[in-house]
Amino acid sequence: MLRIERLDLRIHDRERFDCGEVSLNHYLRRLAGQHLRDGIATTQVLVDEGAPSRILGFYTLAAAQVALDVLQPADRRRLPRYPVPAARLARLAVVHAEHGHGLGAALLQDAVKRCLALRADLGVLVLVVDALSEGPAAFYRLYGFRNTSTDALTLYLPLGKG
C-alpha cells in the first residue's frame, strides 16, 4: 500500500532516488532536508509500506505570493490590488521506473488537498508552479492549472472560494 508522508532524513533513502531530471534529484538529495529544517519548504514523499525507505516520488511546498496582474482577468475580480497569498509547488517528481503509472497525479492531488486544508487557517488563493519545460506544463494544465499572463511555464490553480 502506498502512502505520502513528510520526508524523514533518518528513514528515507534520498540517494537512490532518480527521476531522470538532474535538478530534481539534486534537490531531494542535497537541499530538501535543509529547507525542511530551516522552515523554507516542506517535502512529502511517496513510499510503499512494504519498503518505507524507498522514495517513489516527492513534492515540495513553500509559501509564496503572486502579483495580481499575473492572474487571468477573470481570476482578478474582487481581489485587493496588491500581491495575493499563494502556495508554491516548488518540486514534484516520480522515480523514473514508475513514470506513467499515475503517481505524479496522486502526488499533485495530495498537494492540492494540503493547500485546501491550509486555507482554513491561512489565506491561500492559488497554488503556483514553475514548470521546467512544456511537457510538465501540459501535465499541470490537465489538472486545471492556468497560464499566468507573464510566463507560459508559470502556472497557477485557483483554490476556490472560502
The pLDDT tens digits for 82-95 are 999 999 999 999 99
The C-alpha cell that represents 141 in the structure block: 494544465
For 90-121, give one letter per residue: b (16+ CB within 10 A) or e: bbbbbbeeeeeeebbebbbeebbebbeebbee
pLDDT of 32-51, one tens digit each? 999 999 999 999 999 999 99
pTM for the structure as a whole = 0.96
Grouping H, G, I as helix, E, B as strand and the rest as coil, residue 40 is coil
CATH architecture group of domain 2-158: 3-Layer(aba) Sandwich (3.40)
What are the beta bridge partners of residue 86?
64, 126
Fill in the amino acid letter for 93: A
Q: Where are the domains of the chain?
A: 2-158
Q: Which of the residues are catalytic? A: 140
